Amino acid sequence: MLAVLGARRGLPLVAGALLLAALAPASTSEATEGRRVLFIGNSYTRYNDLPRMVREISRSVPDGPTLRTRRETHGGYRLRGHWRQRRVRRLVERGRFDVIVIQGHSLSPLERPDEMEEYARRFTERARAAGSEVVLFQTWARHPESPTLDELAMDPAEMHRRVDGVYAELASRLGARLAPVGRAWLRAQVEMPDTRLHRPDGTHPSMPGTYLSACVMYRTLTGQDPRRATWKPWRMRDEDAARIRAVAATIE
């Protein structure tokens, strides 16, 4: 009986403590912990599971915000193709994600920039109506040996310049954040010429290429320095991972 009475007398104290805890301001880390991120893209996002890499990088940074990621990826898709998928639109409209990352087809900035802008705008409007932020995933130029460059009559530097310009302008028009992945690739190819970022097909990312993209994306999503991360693909040498993180940390 005494135990029951003691427990009852303690209830107001417990309730008061819980109320104070609920009213206490959350720290920056607590406020951003577990941010939910939806990646919409094609094989550039799917290869090597970039969203998973972003999540693992976030978990490895001491006292940093963690990210929960999900992807909706279909090989070869342009943004118009994703928009036509009712399931993808509903994922955006339900407001279950803090951030929506949009990755368009690698050739859309060159061949169909108006179409790309139209559907990026549609996704952005739906995302904002649902309370989500939008990040544009800037893609990279093809490898110098890619036959696509011959068809386009340009070299990697020119392709990057044009893709970069379209994404930068689009981010400005939409008021979206830009993840400068393509810029990081361009710098890495100069500073790390011994590291191949492309797969043999000259377009899709190798494991180092995806890791570089993920480090840039992590920095864009959190504002944190990727050099503080300890996670890396298990077959990657520590020194290579450190060089990749350094490139991602300094790109603008």
* Ranges of each domain in the chain: 34-250
What's the one-letter identity of residue 83?
A: W
Q: Enumerate residues 6+ apart whose C-beta is below 8 A from 49.
A: 71, 210
On the question of pLDDT at 11 being above 70, the answer is no
Q: With residue 72 as reference, give the H or E element that holds it.
A: strand 67-73
Superfamily of 34-250 according to CATH: SGNH hydrolase (3.40.50.1110)
Q: What are phi and psi of 69, to 5 degrees?
A: -120, 150
How much is the mean pLDDT over the chain?
A: 90
For 39-57, what is each residue's pLDDT tens digit? Answer: 999 999 999 999 999 999 9
Is residue 20 over pLDDT 50?
A: no
C-alpha span between 143 and 160 (Å, rounded): 11
How confident is the model at residue 33, as a pLDDT?
54
- Residue 4 has what pLDDT? 38
Task: Give pTM, 2 decimals.
Answer: 0.86
SS3 18: helix
* Burial grade of 66 (CB within 10 A; 0-12, 13-18, 19 or more): middle
Q: How many CA atoms lie within 13 A of 227 on its CB side?
A: 8
Q: Are 156 and 115 in contact (CB under 8 A)?
A: no
Predicted confidence at residue 15, as pLDDT, reads 42
Per residue in 176-195, pLDDT (tens digit) is 999 999 999 999 999 999 99
- At residue 14 the predicted structure's pLDDT band, cuts being 50, 70 and 90, is very low
Is the predicted pLDDT of residue 32 greater than 60, yes or no? no
Segment 21-29 shows an average pLDDT of 36
What is the pLDDT averaged over residues 244-252?
97
Cα–Cα distance between 192 and 78 in angstroms, integer?
30
Return the HEC string of 185-236.
HHHHHHHCCCCCCECCCCCCECHHHHHHHHHHHHHHHHCCCHHHCCCCCCCC
Greater model confidence, 13 or 219: 219
